[in-house]
Amino acid sequence: LNFQPTKFITSAANIRQLPDDAGVEIAFAGRSNAGKSSALNTITRQKALARTSKTPGRTQLINVFEVTEGKRLIDLPGYGYAKVPLAVKEKWNLALSEYLQKRQSLRGLVLLMDIRHPYRDTDQDLLHWATDCGIPVLVLLTKADKLKPSQRKSTLLQAREAALVFGDGVQVEMFSSHNKLGLPQVEVILSNWLNT
C-alpha cells in the first residue's frame, strides 16, 4: 500500500463525530509528545499532514486521514498531559476504551511510546483494552535516534519480553521520524492490516 497520497479528511471532537464505521482504519495512540503526528508524517512522506509540536497536548481533536477510499489513519489525542484536568482525562479514557471495543472498522492500533519511557500507566491500560477485544497492536518505540544502537537493541528486546503478557497480538518495533529507522517494518504491518 502506498501511503503517500494520504489526505486529511476531518477533525472530530469525540468518537461519535467520526466518519461512518465502514471500511478499515488504523488508530495511532500514545502519550502526549510520544511522536504520533511525526510518525504519521513520516509514514505518509508528508511534511505537515499532521501537526507536530514541541508543546505536549497539541493534538486535542481526533484527526482523520484517508490513504485511499475506505482506508483511514486516525490520529488520536495524546494522553498523560499534566495540564489536562483529571475529569477530562477520565472522560477521554472512557471514550478510548469504548472506541476500541465498538469500532468495527478498526483493524489495528499503533501504540507509540518514547523509547526512553516505555509502558507507562495509560499505555498498559490501552494494551489491555485492545488485546482484550482482539485488536492487533503495534508498539512503536519512538525517537529511537535518541539512544545509541546498543541501548536501542537491548530496550527493544526488553520491550518485546514485556509485551508477552498481553498475548500474541502485540508486535514491537523501533521507530524514528528523524532517521526513518523502522519505517519499512511499519509499512509492511500497516499495509497488511488495511488490506484485510
Q: Which residues bind ligand GTP (CB under 6 A)?
A: 30, 32-38, 52-54, 56-59, 78, 142-143, 145-146, 176-178
Backbone angles phi, psi at 188, to 5 degrees: -65, -45
Q: Identify which of residues 100 and 141 has a Cβ nearer to ligand GTP in the complex.
A: 141
Answer yes or no: are the C-beta atoms of 30 and 36 closer than 8 Å.
yes
Please pick, from the candidates 6, 59, 131, 176, the single residue that binds Mg ion as defined by CB under 5 A.
59
Total residues contacting Mg ion (rule CB under 5 A)?
3
Backbone angles phi, psi at 21, to 5 degrees: -80, 65
> Which grid cell is 41?
508524517
CA distances from 120 to 103, 123, 194 (A): 25, 5, 28
Q: Per CB under 5 A, which region of 33-41, 66-74, 90-98, 153-161 contacts Mg ion?
A: 33-41
Q: Identify which of residues 120 and 178 has a Cβ nearer to ligand GTP in the complex.
A: 178
Please pick, from the candidates 6, 28, 29, 37, the single residue that binds Mg ion as defined by CB under 5 A.
37
